[in-house]
């Protein structure tokens, strides 16, 4: 990061478990050499000339797509369709560094791959999470829905604890408020919630779900499960 922070084109001559030697490009005198002391985790600074005799650069080879993708992954997560010019402008604004459009495209691809891989890893843990919820709350309703046509692709999850439905039926007004919000994820999942009003006029969570998108089908699915859990029946007859 010295090269990025000082805006110098630093090159690693040697970089292994025991030794690191780096120098600045061209005729600059800046150089650093550290060596691991025998059989320890301590490194000794053998050579360090801290003074640069070169000029600042406005692009750096160190600022490669891997480094940029790690720095900007949190910006891509809620906004996977970020256009490249926005990324290039953000890097210029924050670091005063210029990266090429092709490097920006590589960065975007790498970042989205990391985001999608992370999401898949986390959703893969949902089955264990549901199993644990059912073990601790055996009467509760917890539904995990995986898309049939794709391997292990998360579609929906619904959670409604028996203790909450009992509390709602016995202690809340017969009123439920529904709401939804979009999650800051690469796939844009939505959270659906059903909230009651308790005896103190406080909000009382009843059930919630994550769905692939908010539409008639996902709301109908959520409402059908909720109706079963709180035993709503048609009393109009
Ligand atoms: Zn230099």
Q: How far is the CA of 4 from the centre of ligand 1 (A)?
A: 12
Q: How far is the CA of 209 from the centre of ligand 1 (A)?
A: 55
Q: What CA–CA distance (Å, rounded) separates 67 from 78?
A: 19
Q: What CA–CA distance (Å, rounded) separates 51 from 40?
A: 30
- Strand-pairing partners, residue 207, are 194
> Are 207 and 160 within 8 A, CB to CB?
yes
Q: What CA–CA distance (Å, rounded) separates 75 from 73?
A: 5
Q: How far is the CA of 107 from the centre of ligand 1 (A)?
A: 26
Q: What CA–CA distance (Å, rounded) separates 143 from 158?
A: 5
Q: How far is the CA of 70 from the centre of ligand 1 (A)?
A: 25
**Which pTM value belongs to this model?**
0.55
Q: How far is the CA of 91 from the centre of ligand 1 (A)?
A: 22
Residue at token pair 């028996």: 162
> Are 115 and 73 within 8 A, CB to CB?
yes
- Sequential pLDDT tens for the chain (237 residues): 677 677 777 888 888 889 999 998 778 889 999 999 988 889 999 999 988 888 877 766 667 777 788 888 888 777 777 888 888 888 788 777 777 888 888 888 888 888 888 877 777 788 888 888 888 888 777 777 766 555 456 788 899 988 898 899 888 988 999 999 988 776 678 999 999 999 889 999 999 998 988 999 999 999 999 998 887 766 655
Q: How far is the CA of 89 from the centre of ligand 1 (A)?
A: 26
Determine phi and psi for 25, rounding to 5 degrees: -70, 165
Q: What CA–CA distance (Å, rounded) separates 113 from 68?
A: 14
Q: How far is the CA of 58 from the centre of ligand 1 (A)?
A: 13
Q: How far is the CA of 36 from the centre of ligand 1 (A)?
A: 25
Taking alpha carbons only, the member of 98, 43, 33, 30 closest to residue 68 is 98
Q: How far is the CA of 54 from the centre of ligand 1 (A)?
A: 4
Give Cα 136 distance to the centre of its chain: 28
| Cβ < 5 A residues, ion ligand 1 | 8, 24, 28, 30, 52, 54
- Strand-pairing partners, residue 44, are 35
Q: How far is the CA of 42 from the centre of ligand 1 (A)?
A: 27
Q: How far is the CA of 179 from the centre of ligand 1 (A)?
A: 57
> Are 51 and 30 within 8 A, CB to CB?
yes
What's the pLDDT tens digit per position in 199-230?
889 999 999 998 988 999 999 999 999 998 88
Query: Cβ contacts of residue 114 below 8 Å, gap of 6+?
Result: 69, 73
Q: How far is the CA of 57 from the centre of ligand 1 (A)?
A: 9
């Amino acid at each position: 990061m010295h090269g990025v922070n000082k805006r110098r084109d630093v090159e690693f001559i040697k970089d292994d478990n025991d030794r690191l030697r780096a120098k600045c490009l061209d005729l600059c005198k800046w150089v650093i050499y550290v060596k691991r002391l025998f059989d320890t985790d301590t490194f000794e600074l053998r050579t360090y000339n801290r003074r640069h005799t070169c000029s600042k650069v406005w692009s750096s080879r160190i600022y490669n797509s891997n480094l940029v993708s790690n720095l900007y992954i949190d910006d891509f997560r809620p906004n996977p369709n970020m256009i490249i010019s926005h990324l290039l402008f953000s890097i210029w604004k924050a670091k005063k560094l210029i990266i090429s459009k092709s490097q920006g495209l590589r960065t975007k691809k790498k970042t989205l791959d990391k985001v999608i891989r992370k999401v898949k890893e986390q959703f893969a843990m949902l089955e264990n999470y549901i199993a644990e919820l059912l073990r601790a709350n055996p009467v509760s309703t917890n539904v995990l829905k995986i898309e049939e046509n794709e391997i292990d692709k998360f579609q929906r999850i619904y959670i409604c604890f028996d203790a909450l439905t009992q509390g709602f039926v016995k202690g809340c007004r017969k009123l439920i408020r529904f709401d939804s919000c979009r999650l800051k994820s690469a796939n844009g999942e939505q959270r659906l919630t059903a909230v009651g009003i308790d005896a103190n006029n406080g909000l009382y969570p009843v059930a919630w779900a994550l769905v692939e998108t908010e539409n008639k089908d996902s709301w109908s699915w959520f409402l059908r499960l909720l109706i079963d859990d709180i035993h709503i029946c048609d009393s109009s007859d």
